[in-house]
A and B are shown apart, each in its own frame.
Chain A
Amino acid sequence: MPPVLVFARLTVQEAARRRLLLALLVLTLIVVGFSAWGFDKIATTPRSDGTLPSNAQVILVSSQVLIFIVFVYSGVLALSAAVVAGPLISNEVESGLLLSMLARPVRRSEVVIGKWLGLAVLVAIYAAGSAFLELAAVDWATGYIPPHPITLVIYIGLEGLALLSLGLLLSTRLSGITGGVIALVSWLMAWIGGIVGDIGAGLQNSALESVGTVSHLLLPTDGLWRGAVNAMEPDVVLAQLRAAGTFARANPFASLDPPPTPFLVWVVVWFGLMLTLSIWSFRTREI
């Protein structure tokens, strides 16, 4: 097995043997169980006049509650990626674990790519698995499935991958706790930056709007989140938002349009830059 795959396998193996995967699975099942109960109540609890909500009402409410729940999921995924990626290289350098392995015929780029790949597999599994369970629970309770579930999973997974890539870059130079905190704060700042940009768009204030654009370029997590939201919005909600005009854009839980193609191209470039920077940073680090 090439060294890249050895490091990827070790990363997945560590997460499994340290029971990180088990912990995430149990927590996900608990959240899915509670949300299934909650969505069931949306559909089966009579209103004040004694009648059950209409199917259209159930779909409208369910779609908005689901967006909020997925936001929490994406937060958990981003947080987990940042916390796991932050110490991924730095801790192994500080503890000496990497020393004997780097004395083997191994390139440092192989260490970085291998670890990124291993964590990417974990992020993809978690994003796909948790989304499948949650959407299945919502479908069972209300009969509602968001319009573009696959697109949703891809955007959420990419958001986790973005945080993982940033955490890994920081991990090549900074201690685990510092890198993890910086990655997490960056995620929150990017989210806030996106909201500021939305407000700028709503007020037609170009200065505020550019804050959102810059934050999307620096860390595309909020832009990817907007893609996920758009994939979850039913047509009826999108129509209402469009009717509400520019002010409807000033909402982090609403997205009228999917992310523009130039942004998606930038995301690909951004991932390439992050990996290249991580490799350069680790290659030039003295251990």
Chain B
Amino acid sequence: MAEPASVSTAAAPKGAAASTSSPAIHTVDLTKRFGSTVALAGLSMTVPRGEIFGFLGPNGAGKTTSVKLLLGLLKPTSGEAWLLGEKIGDLNTRRRIGYLPELFRYQSWLDAREVLAVHCELAPLPRSTWKDEIRLALDTVGLSERADDRVSTFSKGMQQRLGLAAALVGKPELVFLDEPTSALDPVGRHDVREIIRGLSARGTAVFLNSHLLSEVEQVCDRVAVVDHGRVIASGTMDELLSGTAVKVRVSGLDAAARTKLASFGPLDDEGDQLTFTKLDIERVPELVSAIVGLGGRVYEVSPRHQTLEDRFLELLHEEDT
């Protein structure tokens, strides 16, 4: 059953055009179909200003479709949405929005500084501010030393950093980041998390599309989990991760025996390592005894707080069943 990511039945924020009190994003039953395929089924959510909002889901869940709908690159089949108080598709609102696409590509025949100048020009920003905007954006993403190098000489990770820099020019009030660390190494991912926190600190709302759950868990204020075009859960991290997960290292359990453990809730089966993604800690002795009864040998049992990955797998398991 789809549920809203936040308040979904509230009236659309009409007339809140220039108001900073209007939410960064507000959608009501936003739906997109491609022929008979439902890419997004009735997305209703509100993302307040300054919030880091994680949008999670497996590949093909409808995450990128949602971003493209909000940016006006796709037209919704039905439903409505507002960005910064204005209906989606409004040209003036786009002055206040930054976007790093999942499929990031920039003019290979330009250098990094020129690419950002094009974005300053299209934003459009006053020419007198370009130099500072470009310097600041390049500094932020760590590309200052490559500012005058052609994009064709950049690695994929550097191109993604450049894309992030392009999304930051003009100090946007809302930034869409679609898988912003897909090409980055661990240092780069750390840097991006810091940049996202910095954006939030200055009041910029960040809509983070990702399937890298640990990343989302570390940086987001709230998340929504989407699957098959529907939001299947949403809330703050505390609201979502209230359960306990139990990891068990075992041997000697065949497929039939593992199936019989279904009564202990959703199971992430990785061979010798089984993770029961939502299991009350009081049931651990019962679980161990069941495994032994099925002929298994238990080497380790470690209960822990549920991670976002545990919760994510649990939600997808519930959806499948």
Chain A nearest CB, measured from B123 CB (Å) = 6
Specify which chain B residues have a CB less than 8 angstroms from the CB of A101 in the assembled complex: 118-119, 122
Q: Which of B160-196 contact A (CB under 8 A)?
A: 163, 166-167, 176
Assess whether A107 is interfacial by the CB under 8 Å rule: yes
Q: Closest residue to A5 on the B side, CB-wise? A: B121
Asked if A10 and B105 sit within 8 Å, CB to CB, the answer is: no
Asked if A100 and B107 sit within 8 Å, CB to CB, the answer is: no
Interface residues of A, count at CB 8 A = 22
Given contacts A100-B101, A286-B73, A287-B68, 14 further A-B contacts (CB under 8 A): A1-B121, A10-B118, A95-B103, A96-B102, A97-B105, A99-B104, A100-B167, A103-B71, A103-B94, A103-B97, A103-B176, A104-B123, A105-B91, A105-B123
Greatest chain B CB density within 10 A among A97, A99, A286 is at: A99
Q: A97-B107, A99-B73 are in contact. Are A105 and B121 (CB under 8 A)?
A: no
| B interface residue numbers (CB < 8 A to A) | 68, 71-75, 91-92, 94-95, 97, 99-107, 109-110, 118-119, 121-124, 163, 166-167, 176
Q: Closest residue to A94 on the B side, CB-wise? A: B103
Asked if B74 and A287 sit within 8 Å, CB to CB, the answer is: yes
Asked if A99 and B107 sit within 8 Å, CB to CB, the answer is: no
Greatest chain A CB density within 10 A among B74, B92, B118, B122 is at: B122
Assess whether A17 is interfacial by the CB under 8 Å rule: yes
Taking a contact as CB atoms closer than 8 A, the residue among B99, B104, B107, B124 that contacts A105 in the complex is B124
Specify which chain A residues have a CB less than 8 angstroms from the CB of B92 in the assembled complex: 105
Sample of 14 A–B contacts (CB below 8 Å): A6-B122, A13-B109, A18-B109, A95-B105, A99-B103, A100-B167, A101-B118, A101-B122, A103-B72, A103-B73, A103-B97, A104-B94, A104-B123, A105-B91
Asked if A287 and B73 sit within 8 Å, CB to CB, the answer is: yes
Assess whether A252 is interfacial by the CB under 8 Å rule: no
List 3 A-B pairs, minimum CB-CB distance, nearest first: A96-B103, A17-B109, A104-B122
Specify which chain A residues have a CB less than 8 angstroms from the CB of B100 in the assembled complex: 100
Q: A100-B100, A103-B73, A287-B73 are in contact. Are A6 and B107 (CB under 8 A)?
A: no
Assess whether A102 is interfacial by the CB under 8 Å rule: yes
Specify which chain B residues have a CB less than 8 angstroms from the CB of A1 in the assembled complex: 121
Q: Closest residue to B178 on the A side, CB-wise? A: A99
Specify which chain B residues have a CB less than 8 angstroms from the CB of A100 in the assembled complex: 99-101, 104, 106, 119, 163, 166-167
